[in-house]
Amino acid sequence: MFTIAFISASGGAGKTTLAINTAASLAIDGRKVLFIDFDPSAMATRVLLGRTFDECNLKTLMKKLVDYSRGYSRNMPTVSECLHQHKIPGNNAAFHVLPGGNLDEISNDIKNVPNWGSLLKVLVDKIMEEMSYDFDVIILDSPNWVYQFFEMTFSLAPLYVAITRPGIQEITKFIDFLRQIMDMLYNQKIFVPSNKRYDSLVSYIVNQYRSNMKAQDVMKTWREAKEIVSKAFPNIRPLTNNKPDKYYGKENTEFVGFKHVDDISLDSYVEDGPLYTRKYKEEDKIKPIKQFKAYYESLMQFISEMAPVEVAH
């Protein structure tokens, strides 16, 4: 099993859209996927399940687990009853979803539990125990910036996909964000594969190049972003693909991220299904599909090289 946590420095960078499309693609490829909505906004829950679930979600489960851990309750929470199955639009495949809830509302309770950073892992283990079901992949849709409960992701030994928009100001903010993430990773007992470094657990993708950008302008903007990120973090892997194709115009280039178009959106996922399986003839609609497949291929290579990662107990 491996875990992928989708993270970003800014809101609206396309984190949830990419997390959902990735989860759907993995499920279509035959993987058993658990999607955990770790974002207090619960946007992914609304998209995948059509509504929020105030009666049973990550927050309510965490509160019950906290009460049990502190001796206020005799029984562990029944976790699997909160899971829902999302049927992928236009496809027979499906994956499980743990609905999101705002953990900020019970932050004091959580942080009064010794080793509270392991609580999310306890819930995941309980899900598998109750269902007698081993998931192949866990997808975490994390909040923007450095969430106060970001430490909970470490016990799941995840790989990280960090999303940023282009532009100097966005990239500068992105670097500050990554520095904080790295500082936290260095303090965790996480064992990476031999001859790898902690920052190699993180990959990144540039999203939302302007829709009217010409291919050469996309490449120029990418090179500027890559130079800044690589200088600060030489081991962080860009999810690019050097297979030439007409990703951004009429000329062949490598894949260096996504353009900002309507076909790469949450509404588009609901209406047309995942990018991975869409079939169009119109050239403008084919390009986002090519972009996603190039990203997905790069992500699979990143996973094969880095997983599994282990956490010391």
151-164 mean pLDDT: 87
Domain total in the chain: 1
14-60 pLDDT, tens digit per residue, is 999 999 999 999 999 999 999 999 999 999 999 999 999 999 999 99
Q: Which domain holds residue 59?
A: 2-311
163-193 pLDDT, tens digit per residue, is 999 999 999 999 999 998 888 887 765 656 5
Q: What is this structure's pTM?
A: 0.93
61-116 pLDDT, tens digit per residue, is 999 999 999 888 888 888 888 999 999 999 999 999 999 999 999 999 999 999 89
197-206 pLDDT, tens digit per residue, is 777 889 999 9
Query: In this structure, what CATH number is given to the domain that contains residue 252?
Result: 3.40.50.300
Q: Is the pLDDT of residue 196 over 70?
A: no
Three-class DSSP labels, the chain? CEEEEEEECCCCCCHHHHHHHHHHHHHHCCCCEEEEECCCCCHHHHHHHCCCCCCCCHHHHHHHHHHHHCCCCCCCCCCHHHCEEEECCCCCCEEEEECCCCHHHHHHHHHCCCCHHHHHHHHHHHHHHHHCCCCCEEEEEEEECCCCCHHHHHHHCCEEEEEECCCHHHHHHHHHHHHHHHHHHHCCCEECCCCCCHHHHEEEEECCECCCCCHHHHHHHHHHHHHHHHHHCCCCEECCEEEEECCCCCCCEEECCCECCCCCCHHHHHHHCCHHHCCCCCHHHHHHHHHHHHHHHHHHHHHHHHCCCEECC
